[in-house]
Amino acid sequence: MKLTIQHKTIVITGASSGIGAATAQLLAQNGANVVLGARRADKLAALTATIQQAGGQAAYRVTDVRHLAEVQALVALAQAEFGGVDVIFNNAGIMPSAPISALHLQEWDDMIDINLKGVLNGVAAVMPIFTAQKAGQIITTSSVAGLKSFPGAGVYGATKFAVRNLMEVIRQESATEGTNIRTTTVYPAAINTELLQTITDEATLKGMTQLYQAVGISPEAIARVVNFAVDQPADMSVSDMTVYPTKQA
């Protein structure tokens, strides 16, 4: 079957490492134009160079998803470099998990601003384009904490549950409005990325580190899932995909 990924322009946030970087490399290998956004310029530049040296098409812009104007500029870069936008992968996120009683208030704000508002900013940046062209795909990283409730992940899980609802409503509204916007929400479990580095609560970090060391798998697993979702025909939307390591209970 011919890859539908070929020549699509795909914007990826949180692209400097982990799931975002792995996805960018795989999609570029399969013929997509990838436009990379994250806060670390050095890592974005290195990843872009790696993709280009391998024969792929890539561009990048330093982007903080908390600010709509910066996400809009990233999308505008995709239009300028490659003539349009077909997919956005809202992948940027942090996971400074802790018990609610610890009252890490600034971390609550940060999770809401990045994990939820950052996704909303991604949606806002592409919605006028996708609505006008009556085509497009919005892919968003949630978490198994957006499907189940876990002690120690109350606020993190709240942002991921919110993403789950948001994406399903976009799917339903698009079907009603006839805009043909496909949506995919990905729910990763223990994937070995830099997420654990955002945890400041010592007890939570210890427990999560032990779990990930025991069962965690590489971010390439999620890259393959995103690749699959993009590669489906325009009349088919793979709306939800949960990914567990085989060893994780």
**156 carries an active-site annotation:** yes
Dihedral sign from CA coordinates of 22, 27, 33, 37? negative
What is the C-alpha to C-alpha distance for residues 136 and 87, in angstroms, rounded to an integer?
Answer: 6
What is the C-alpha to C-alpha distance for residues 119 and 106, in angstroms, rounded to an integer?
Answer: 19
Confidence tier at 2 by pLDDT (50, 70, 90): low
The one-letter amino acid code at 170 reads I
What is the C-alpha to C-alpha distance for residues 175 and 20, in angstroms, rounded to an integer?
Answer: 28
Share of the chain above pLDDT 70, in %: 99
What average pLDDT does this structure show over 169-197?
Answer: 97
Q: What is the pLDDT of residues 65-78, one digit of tens each?
A: 999 999 999 999 99
What average pLDDT does this structure show over 92-114?
Answer: 97
What is the C-alpha to C-alpha distance for residues 58 and 30, in angstroms, rounded to an integer?
Answer: 12
Full set of structural domains in the chain with CATH: 9-234 (3.40.50.720)
What average pLDDT does this structure show over 121-146?
Answer: 98
**pTM for this structure?**
0.96
The pLDDT of residue 1: 45
Q: Exactly one of 60, 156, 187, 212 is catalytic; name it.
A: 156
Question: Backbone phi, then psi, for 226, in 5-degree steps?
Answer: -65, -40
